[in-house]
Amino acid sequence: METTEYILKVKDIHKSYGNVEVLKGVSFNVKKGETKCFIGPSGTGKSTLLRCINQLTVPDQGQIWLHDEEVTHAGPRINYFRQRIGMVFQNFYLFDHLTAVRNVEIALIKVLRMNPKEAREKAMYELNQVGMADWADHYPAELSGGQAQRVSIARALAMDPDVILFDEPTSALDPELTREVIEVMRNLASLGMTMLVVTHEMGFACSAANEILFMENGRVIEQGSPSDLLNNPQFERCKAFIGQYHGFHE
C-alpha cells in the first residue's frame, strides 16, 4: 500500500498575504522516523510552511494529510491534529505563568484529560529526557534560552506526537546554548522521532537529516540527502546560500 508509507503528506501548498504569494506550491512526503531540514533565505516562507502544516496559518490552496486523514479543512477536529503534530518555536513561547513541569503537563491535563498524577509523571519523564528535570519548579523567566527551549521540546514531546515541527529552534540562542538544544534534537532524531526542522545549523542538517530541502521565494528548489548536498551539483543554489550565510562550511 503506497499511501500508508508516509505519515505526513504535504501537497501543493499555496499561501498569499495580500498580493504577495509567500508559498507557491510546496509538496513533500514524510516517512515515519524521518528528519527533514528546511533551509533558505529569510522571508522565503519556511515559517509559513510549518504553520500551514498544523493550520496555525490556513493555506489558500493545497492539502495536508496526517496518516490518511486530511488536516486541511478539518474544522474543529483541527485540535485533534494539533495534538498529533507538535511544534517548537524560535522564541520558545513557554507559558510564562507556569513552572517548567506545569508547562509540560498542562496540555496533558487540559487536552488529553490525563489525571494530574499521571500527567506529572509523564511531564517529569519528558523533562528528564531533555535534561531539565532539576529545573522542574522554575518559571520560564528563571531559565536560560537553551533551558527554556529544552522545556518547550519536552512540552511538545509529552503529547507523544506523530511529528514535531521545529521553527528555527536555535536562532535565538548563543552558540553555547545552541549546542545543548541541538544535542537534544540529535538524540530525538536517533530515537526515531519524525521531525521537520527549519534551521540554519548546517552541522545538524548534514548529520541528522535524511533529506535537506532548500527553499527560495516560496518554493522548494533543491532537495536531496546530505551527501547529495556535499557532492552533487543539484545543490548549487543551496551551497551558494550556505557560503554566504556561514562563510565556508564543510
Site residues, ligand ATP (CB under 6 A): 17, 22, 42-48
* Minimum CB–partner distance for residue 99 and ligand ATP (Å): 29
Instruction: For residue 230, count other CB atoms closer than 10 A to its CB.
Output: 12
At 162, is the secondary structure helix, strand, or coil?
coil
Q: For residue 210, give every residue at least 6 positions away whose Cβ sits within 8 Å of its Cβ, in sequence order, or none.
A: 34, 35, 36, 225
- Can you tell me which of 73, 110, 246, 249 binds another protein, judged by CB under 8 A? 110
Going by the DSSP 8-state scheme, the letter that residue 45 receives in this structure is S
* Minimum CB–partner distance for residue 97 and another protein (Å): 5
- Can you tell me which of 35, 44, 47, 54 binds another protein, judged by CB under 8 A? 54
Residue 72 contacts which entry, Mg ion, another protein, ligand ATP, none (Cβ below 5-8 A, type-dependent): none
Instruction: For residue 35, count other CB atoms closer than 10 A to its CB.
Output: 26
Q: Report residue 210 as a C-alpha cell.
A: 535524511
Nearest 5°: the CA angle 142, 148, 150 is: 140
Residues 21-50 interacting with Mg ion (rule: CB under 5 A): 47
In angstroms, rounded to a whole number, what is the distance separating the alpha carbons of residues 67 and 29?
11
Residue 43 contacts which entry, another protein, ligand ATP, Mg ion, none (Cβ below 5-8 A, type-dependent): ligand ATP
| CA 65 to chain centroid | 16
Q: Which is nearer to another protein, 56 or 221 (CB)?
A: 56
Residue 96 contacts which entry, another protein, ligand ATP, Mg ion, none (Cβ below 5-8 A, type-dependent): another protein
**Binding residues for another protein (CB under 8 A):** 54, 56, 76, 79-83, 86-87, 89, 91, 93-97, 106-107, 110-111, 139-142, 152, 155-156, 159
